[in-house]
Structure 1
Amino acid sequence: MTELITDQHVVSVLRPFVRATTPMLGALRDADPLGLVRRVLGSREEHEAAVELAKVDRSVVKGLESVRVPGTAAWHAMSIADRDDWWVNRVGRFTVLMASIPGIGGALADRLPIQDTLATAGQGLVLSAIAVEHGAEDPATKVRLIAHVLFDRDIDPLLATGDGDLLTDDQEDAATAEMTTDLDESQRTHGKITPKAAAKSLWRLGRTLLALGDELDKRPQGRFYHKAMGMLPVVGLAGDYLGERSALKRATKKGRTWLDGL
């Protein structure tokens, strides 16, 4: 029998997660996402596949002009919708490609939780980013947003603040620190995020969400034809990439609607 996942359990997992997204988003904001992907992957063939897949959807380059970054005058002149799109492409460019790499192995790789783990973490990252653009910077609202979009949960606002949480403050701090340890170490050692630190941090974020078990299956998914294509060796990479791009856009749309209703 599958263990019942309560709203309290969801909050205990998501509160450290949303706190850890802040430094991760800062790192991806300042990095070259596609460059990170090229250097993380393990073979020339995978490098080339990732680069080609990035060209499949031309929207991945929208909003990435160097002048349009958070904190600049050009950024403040952008509409909220344009800022949302910037984050979808900036973060999604990295997370979607990373999540789709297991698709090289076709159906065998799809039996493992790697893709769902990385993709769910990527969707959570984007939702945290657009929450700020909509004026929702507090962790409690981000917890409610992610729970609604990814897990179809309507979390009580008081519960989302950590009232009645399964974790103590010290435990929540420790869980957050564990997810950002690679970013901190990379910053101390290299003065910037490294490809290895970016990949490991994304995995740490996703691995935390594994505690929610089958709840991960509720997240926005790609279309049925993306899944069919993803079952095939090698070309499964393209299917998974397109599917996760579609899923990320659907998650963002659902998130915007929820935020607009606050």
Structure 2
Amino acid sequence: MGEVITDRQIVAVLRPFVRATAPVLDALREADPLGLRARAAEAARKGEQLAELANTPPGLRRRLLNGLSTVKVPGTGAWETMSPDERTRWWINRVGRVTALLTSVPGLGGALADRLPVQDALGTASQGLLLCAIAGERGVTGHAERVRLLAWVLFERDVDPRLAAGDYPEHDPSDEDARTAELTAELGEDTGKQGGRRISLKGFAVTLWRLGRSLYAVTEELEKRPHGRFWHQWLGMLPVVGMLGDYLGERSGLRRVAKRADQWFIRSGFTARTGG
């Protein structure tokens, strides 16, 4: 057996991780690397042009514009009216598909890849990123609170609030700053404008890899994270098709993460914010 990993070691790893997720999530919301908001804007532009045509029936024009106003992506009016649960489902179903795909790539190697910590590291990083997004939709913005959330959901640890806040002798703020900067090195500079930081799909993949690699210090804890069903793991052991099994397993794991997060919000006394 390896050396027992302490709560302090967990916190030392999670604090820069949690801090690094903030600009990543901002980039996903504002810079739109997945093209969701850009497609919505383009559809709106074309729809408005069509609606301006003189021969467009009033009923069709009204239905068209009403439909465009319900496009649910961050930064739209429809997003502001969504409940926290609806926003959580959006993160899991839209962004979660991309993170699950990136995480499942090692599954091409079948059982051989399963012996390595790469997939668990990437999977834990993906789940941690989505947990921080869910926390934001619930109004949980403090780093210490998010550290405790991730420790409880991913590692089954009930971390002391003071410890999660970095209140321990070995805590080095400058070292934490440096590690956070390293994790977000692939993000573009903050322009200070509405566009915020910029991140490409490649940059997002590299950042996810760096977030996963930062968890190697607690490798023995990574298997505790929520996984998919047993048949996902069985399929994942097969060469080539293992990627499909791993993808489905990661998607299932993300749904379990969301359910465990709900339990933590309730037991920690956080009430859901309403939309609008």
Common fold: TM-score over 0.5: yes
Contact 2:189/2:198 (<8 A) preserved: no
Judged with a 3 Å threshold, the aligned counterparts in structure 2 of structure 1 residues 215 and 165 are, in CA distance, closer, same or farther, namely farther
- Choose between structure 1 and 2: higher helix proportion: 1
Q: 1:33 to 1:92 in 2, by over 3 A?
A: farther
SS in 2 for 1:215: helix
> Displacement of 1:229 after TM fit?
0.6
- Percent of paired sites with the same residue: 57
Q: Check if 1:239 corresponds to 2:226.
A: no
| Distance across 1 between alignment mates of 2:241 and 2:35 | 22
Query: Could you tell me which residue of structure 2 aligns to residue 79 of structure 1?
Result: 83
Q: In structure 2, do the counterparts of structure 1 residues 184 and 197 end up closer, same or farther at CA, with 3 Å as the change threshold?
A: same
Aligned: 1:17 with 2:17: yes
How many residues matched?
Answer: 230
Equivalent in the alignment of 1:104: 108
One-letter code aligned to 2:207: S
Structure 2 distance, partners of 1:202, 1:196, is 10
The 1:162–1:186 alpha-carbon spacing in structure 2 relative to 1, beyond 3 Å, is closer
What is the aligned counterpart of 1:154 among 155, 158, 163?
158
Pick one of 200, 204, 212 that aligns with 2:206: 200
Any stretches of 5+ residues in structure 1 without a counterpart? 35-64
Query: Residue deviations 1:92-151, cap 9 Å, x none?
Result: 111100011111111112122221111100000010011111111000110000000000
The equivalent position to 1:230 in structure 2, one of 198, 212, 236, is: 236
Cα distance change, pair 90–22 in 1 and its aligned pair in 2 (3 A)? farther
Deviation at 1:68, TM superposition (A): 2.1
Contact kept in structure 1, 2:144 and 2:165, CA below 8 Å: yes
- Residue identity in the other structure for 2:16: P
Q: Distance in 2 between matches of 1:66 and 1:24?
A: 25
Give the letter for the 2:255 counterpart: K
Aligned with residue 128 of structure 2, among 124, 129, 132: 124
Match of 2:47 in 1: none
Question: Do the aligned residues in 1 keep the contact of 2:229 with 2:252 (CA within 8 Å)?
Answer: yes
User: What is the TM-score when the length of structure 1 is the normalising length?
Assistant: 0.82
Code of the aligned partner of 1:14:
L
Question: Which runs of structure 2 are paired with 1:1-262 in the superposition (5 Å)?
Answer: 1-29=1-29, 30-32=32-34, 67-164=71-168, 166-184=170-188, 192-261=198-267, 262=269
Question: Which of structure 1's runs of 4+ aligned residues deviate more than 6 A?
Answer: none
The answer (yes or no) to whether the contact 1:9–1:166 under 8 Å persists in 2 is: no
